[in-house]
Structure 1
């Protein structure tokens, strides 16, 4: 059963489906949703710049 699922899986099909879904979601987002995405990406960037040293 597991072997059949692995043989039926295609990375090309998965990537095409995933890219279609992402483009669909991004084309249907409103300004509030874009603001949330951009704020999260900026916060994540600052956390990455801070590094592993967490102040205690």
Structure 2
């Protein structure tokens, strides 16, 4: 897999987590731990995207 393809996959995952987070935050049944977990996963992906982008420049 090329770096560009890997970045595209990570960006899709990041966007999906953003939607999942938005949905969870709008549901009163969601607990804080679930929301924190989604945020953590989203941040991990964002960090990896930034790391890959900086390594290609």
Do they superpose with TM above 0.5? no
TM-score, scaled to structure 2? 0.44
Structure number with bigger Rg: 1
Higher relative contact order (CA 8 A, sep 6+): 2
